Each structure stands twice: as C-alpha cells, then as structure tokens.
Amino acid sequence: MGGVSSVPGRGRKPKPQEAKRAAGNPGRRPLNTNVPEFADVVDIDVPEYLSTMEYADMMWRSVIPELLKNKVLKITDMHNVEMFCMAYHNLRVAQKEVVQKGPTLETAQGSTIKNPALTAVNEASKQMASFGAMLGLDPSSRGRLGGGGNKPKTNKFAQVLNM
C-alpha cells in the first residue's frame, strides 16, 4: 500500500494569493481569483477587556501601529492580534511568578515539584509564536508575507552572458 499520502495539512502551507501577487506571480501559475477580500483595518483602539490586562494592553499599543503602518491588518486578523496580546500578558505574569517563587516549589508534604507557572510560560510562548507568525511578526513569516519585493530586477547571470 505504498504511494503518496493525501492527508490534508501535510507539507508546506500554500503562499497566500496576496503574497504571490505582490511578488509578481513568479511561478506563473494562474492565481485564484475567487479568494475573498476582507476589509482593511485602518485604526482600532484597545478592546476594553484587554485594557484591563497590563501587558496585553502594552503589546496591543506596540503591535497595532506597526501592522497598520504596513497595511497588512485585515478585520479577519483581529482575533489573532487579541490572542497574541493575551498570550504575551500570560507569559509575563507567569514569568514573574517563576522569578518570585523559583522553578521548583515545595509541596505541603515536603516534596519538590516543578512550578506550574513554567508550563504557563511554555504554553504562552508557543501561542505567541503561532499567532505572531500568522500576523507576520517574526522574520521568517514576514518574508513569506512580503513576497519577493527585495529580489533584484535583473538577472546577473544573463548580464554576464550578454557581455
């Protein structure tokens, strides 16, 4: 029963149509013209419930202006921004606890256990990486979002051959 697996979700994620278009469609394959277009976000305040979370509020005020400046934020991305900011808040709160109480705790019975806040730090870090990548907030995902805008317009090899 050999053969190629057709399990969805395997392999590299497809590049978004916008990124292909921005790069000049280097693969020259037909672009999907039925991709939904969602509204751009041009300005948005911190949601009230996030403003009560010190670190989430701080991260929102740091990230949103950058996303708006680069015109990459769509209305359908807002849940990713919220989750990214909440994960950052959880990371900072849990890390404070680890600093205050240490990486291990002593139980009432006298045994030593791992501080549960370390698990919260780990989970929040993974969430930040995941949601941040969806928003283009790390170098690798930024490159995938931007397309091929930084590629040279001329082929240096072709120039050498034409000498």
Q: Which three-class secondary structure string do you get for 110-134?
A: CCEEECHHHHHHHHHHHHHHHHHHH
Q: φ and ψ at 112, to 5 degrees?
A: -100, 135
Backbone angles phi, psi at 114, to 5 degrees: -65, 140
Write out pLDDT tens, residues 88-104. Answer: 999 999 999 999 999 99
> Which of 79-88, 121-130, 150-159 has the least mean pLDDT?
150-159
pLDDT category at 149 given cuts 50, 70, 90 is very low
Please write the tens of the pLDDT for every residue from 28-82.
788 777 777 778 888 899 999 999 999 999 999 999 999 999 888 899 999 999 9
| pLDDT score, position 160 | 53
SS3 106: strand
How far, in Å, CA of 128 to CA of 80, rounded?
Answer: 10
State the pLDDT at residue 13: 65
What is the C-alpha to C-alpha distance for residues 104 and 146, in angstroms, rounded to an integer?
A: 43
Q: What's the pLDDT tens digit per position in 123-148?
A: 999 999 999 999 888 887 777 665 44
0.75 surpassed by pTM: no
Residue 3 pLDDT greater than 80, yes or no? no
